[in-house]
Structure 1
Amino acid sequence: MDFSPELIAIGQKAKDAARKLAYSSTANKNKALLAMADALLAHEQEILVANQKDVEAAIQKGIKKSLVNRLTLTSEGIHQMSDSLREVVNLADPVGEGEFWTRPNGLRIQRTRVPLGVVAMVYEARPNVTVDAAALCLKSGNAVILRGGSEAIESNKVLSRVISEASERQGMPTASIQLLENTDRQWVQQLMKMNGYVDVIIPRGGAGLIQTVVKESTVPVIETGTGVCHAFVDQEGNFDKGVSIVFNSKTHRPGVCNALETVLIHEAVASEFLPLLGEKLWDYGVEIRGCEKTCAILPYASKARSEDWGTEYLDLIISAKVVKDVDEAMDHIYQYGTKHSETIITENYTTAQRFLNEVDAAAVYVNASTRFTDGGRFGFGAEIGISTQKLHARGPMGLRELTTMKYMIYGEDHIVT
């Protein structure tokens, strides 16, 4: 593949920056993060003006409301981004963590955490990812190349410039944080094949984006995100908890990957529980697409199509199915789930433990909303994404997940015989 000279220059600068970042002290990295947090607040109006341009353009294009909401920044949102940077400062630096042991022959071996190198982030119209990714990569000693969605380009230009200039003023290597301002798809296609410049690429967004990167990239990929998340309401589940948890999981922020897409209801309680849940969802404006039994109980539900069970709506739509028992619920999740987040509402300890042990997902809950699958809520600070694969990271990815291991061996004229 022929690479753009401009893109090669970006890759080389990132590689050079990563080399220096790898041994930057925790104190210096924290100073840079604090400066970045202050800079966001100092440039708040500039950021909001740029974001307004993106929002107006998105509305004119007819982008659906839930995605416009993800794109929109407010004064409160900018303060939250600033606060998230300060939270990362307070997190332990994983670089240098490790263990040490001595072999019987006297060879001393040290295993220690080191940065991945150059991280490329490909994501959609969420400007906050620009700041979160930059913060986590910097703290973990990685250079980052950011490629956000075209819908957020004006916001991302200002955000990346503000935080990169702030970090450089505090002595961080030039080009530690870079944004691809060219939104041409060809640049992404080239970025995905820049082995030798990029060490790992992390896609964050909808199923289409993620699968494109997974299938086309020659650079190692950490797959994140697609969330066809389920809640199973057991026959021994508390109805009040069930309504509250399902409603929160679906409506709190419907356009994110940990939002609920399907609710499964034990047949023994469906006729009692579904009207309680359905009324609350319907009154809020949630469209319900149900199986035949659901539609018989809820006259305002529309009949689900076969493709509904595997759809990540990212909108105020939910599919509902009545199942025989926990086994059928787990079978359904096995068939249609994306190994993201699943929850059970039950007061039965044995059933809860079966669900926890047998459901294969990054996060499995008992009596809690799927919306908790988040680096901040898990205590990791900001997150770079939620991995749904098993290598090398799974679940919310914080600082430790942006490092790898290195072995350092001390000998005294040791040779193999």
Structure 2
Amino acid sequence: MKAVRSCAVRARQGAAALARASDTAIDTAILGMAERVTTAQRMLVNANQDDLAAAVSAGMCPALLDRLRLTGTRLTAMAAELRSLATVAHEPRDIVLEERPDGLTLWERRRPVGVVGANFEARPNVTLDIASQLLKSRNAGVLRTGSAALRSSQALLAHVVGPALSDAGLDPDALQLVPHQDRSAAYALVSLPELVPLVILRGSGDSTRDLGREAARHGVRTLAHADGGAVLYVGAADDEKTVHQLITDSLDRLGVCNRLSLLLIDQAVYDERLPGILDVLQRLGIAASLPPHAHPRGYEWTLDQERAATVTVDRANGPLYAARIANEETSGLAASIATQDPVAATEFIDAYTGAGAFWNSTTRLLDGFKLLRLPETEINIDRVPGPRGPVTFRDLYLRQYLVAPSEGPIART
């Protein structure tokens, strides 16, 4: 698609200057984004209302409508996150690894990727999360969102991101938003290795997995997050009050990947704990899918528009068995154990290999700002070396080894 290539070309033209920008200029731009989120609030909410009206007409479920919605409270929180990001220290460009006996120094140098693409779901706040992380890492970007959030995202680029870059003396073309809602734009974005060598993929299920396969076919690297769904294992030595609170905390929003999807109760306390747990779920308006199940045990309810307000409940014969279920039958995003027994907690955590493990704490904490005090571009659950869990600006760089004279100009920079 010509429009995607055009966005990529403009972003690449702004990438070199962005790579050379000072820390002050970068943080000034991020602070400018925070300021404009506040001053442009009415325009942003109006654009979002148009998106919401179209989504309601199209029959979007309540959980996804919640992800799409921008309110004054949410915009205020987005501005606060941007201000917080601006105060975070930049990663050093050069790190000394070894002062060699031959008079040479081995350095590790961080370099921006250049242009990073991002395809993400209909969540307007993600537009700013990704734009700000790319900016902080000095990467240009080409963003593409789902049709449901396009008006909101366009308003954010036009009234927040672009003007903030310009005011800070940076090229506003460095961060582009694909202006088309056609799904073919997503496939075009992952087919331009010479312009966009890395693409962040956030979405739901099959479509995101298919984009990952298409990217691999073209030689484009991805950081992909297609599946989610979190697990809570209630151990035999649990505290009932803690369990009920964890369930409540894990279901505060249904349209997010790190919400509770699979609730495992230890066999030894299953019959005793189940009635109270069902009462909590009923109070929250959540249906319990009890065994025998007509669906895979690790089914991610967030992706089911008709039944998003559902949690799968099942038995588990001890912490090792529960961890095996979480490893083999879910996405590997996050799992928590509720127990007062440190031995059981250690067994579960040591056996669980997913991106985030929690003890008596909610899996909703597996989120960039909640966990690392930074917005995130996505949560990476790939089982390969590299950034895993919430991906922030600290992960979006290329490592270069540099060997130079110890007394040379590089040592004095």
TM-score class, shorter: over 0.9
* Matched ranges for 1:283-298 at <5 A: 283-292=283-292
The residue identity in structure 1 corresponding to 2:389 is: G
Partner of 2:268 in structure 1?
A: 268
Partner of 2:42 in structure 1?
A: 45
How high is the TM-score relative to the length of structure 1?
0.92
- State the secondary structure of the residue aligned to 1:190: helix
The C-alpha deviation readout for 1:116-148, integer Å capped at 9, x for no partner, is: 221111011100011111111101101111101
The residue identity in structure 1 corresponding to 2:346 is: Q
In 2, Cα distance between the equivalents of 1:37 and 1:274?
46
Partner of 2:147 in structure 1?
A: 150
**Structure 1 residue 308: deviation in Å?**
4.6
**Structure 1 residue 49: deviation in Å?**
0.7
**Alpha carbons 1:118, 1:145 under 8 Å: kept:** yes
- State the secondary structure of the residue aligned to 2:142: strand
**Structure 1 residue 69: deviation in Å?**
0.8
**Alpha carbons 1:95, 1:403 under 8 Å: kept:** no
In 2, Cα distance between the equivalents of 1:189 and 1:379?
31
In 2, Cα distance between the equivalents of 1:281 and 1:379?
29
Partner of 1:242 in structure 2?
A: 243
**More displaced, 397-406 or 153-162?**
397-406
**Structure 1 residue 411: deviation in Å?**
4.2
**Alpha carbons 2:316, 2:322 under 8 Å: kept:** yes
For residue 384 of structure 1, the aligned residue among 377, 398, 408 is: 377
In 2, Cα distance between the equivalents of 1:174 and 1:313?
35
The C-alpha deviation readout for 1:347-404, integer Å capped at 9, x for no partner, is: 1111111111110111001111110001111234111111101332100111211122
- State the secondary structure of the residue aligned to 1:113: strand
Partner of 1:313 in structure 2?
A: 302
In 1, Cα distance between the equivalents of 2:11 and 2:261?
39
For residue 11 of structure 1, the aligned residue among 4, 8, 19 is: 8
For residue 61 of structure 1, the aligned residue among 47, 50, 58 is: 58
The C-alpha deviation readout for 1:296-322, integer Å capped at 9, x for no partner, is: xxxxxxxx2132533343521000001
In 2, Cα distance between the equivalents of 1:199 and 1:104?
38
**Alpha carbons 1:380, 1:398 under 8 Å: kept:** no
Partner of 1:354 in structure 2?
A: 347
Cα RMSD (Å): 1.6
- State the secondary structure of the residue aligned to 2:143: strand
2:127 aligned with 1:130: yes
The C-alpha deviation readout for 1:151-171, integer Å capped at 9, x for no partner, is: 011111110112112212211
- State the secondary structure of the residue aligned to 1:310: coil
Residue identity (%): 27
**Structure 1 residue 340: deviation in Å?**
0.6
In 1, Cα distance between the equivalents of 2:186 and 2:196?
12
In 2, Cα distance between the equivalents of 1:62 and 1:365?
36
* Matched ranges for 1:186-265 at <5 A: 186-217=184-215, 218=218, 219-224=220-225, 226-249=227-250, 251-265=251-265
In 1, Cα distance between the equivalents of 2:92 and 2:129?
18
Partner of 1:415 in structure 2?
A: none
Partner of 2:395 in structure 1?
A: 401
How high is the TM-score relative to the length of structure 2?
0.92
Partner of 1:298 in structure 2?
A: none
The residue identity in structure 1 corresponding to 2:299 is: G
Q: 1:356 and 1:327, CA in 2 relative to 1: closer, same or farther beyond 3 A? A: closer
**Alpha carbons 1:232, 1:263 under 8 Å: kept:** yes
Partner of 2:158 in structure 1?
A: 161
**Alpha carbons 1:225, 1:386 under 8 Å: kept:** no
**Structure 1 residue 58: deviation in Å?**
0.2
Partner of 2:410 in structure 1?
A: none
Q: 1:99 and 1:108, CA in 2 relative to 1: closer, same or farther beyond 3 A? A: closer
**Alpha carbons 1:93, 1:399 under 8 Å: kept:** no
**Alpha carbons 2:94, 2:107 under 8 Å: kept:** no
In 1, Cα distance between the equivalents of 2:226 and 2:365?
14
How many residue pairs align between the two structures?
397
**Structure 1 residue 15: deviation in Å?**
1.3
- State the secondary structure of the residue aligned to 1:9: helix
Partner of 2:409 in structure 1?
A: none
In 2, Cα distance between the equivalents of 1:252 and 1:288?
16
2:362 aligned with 1:369: yes
- State the secondary structure of the residue aligned to 2:296: helix
Stretches of structure 2 that go unaligned for 5 or more consecutive residues are: 407-413
**Alpha carbons 1:227, 1:312 under 8 Å: kept:** no
**Alpha carbons 1:114, 1:405 under 8 Å: kept:** yes
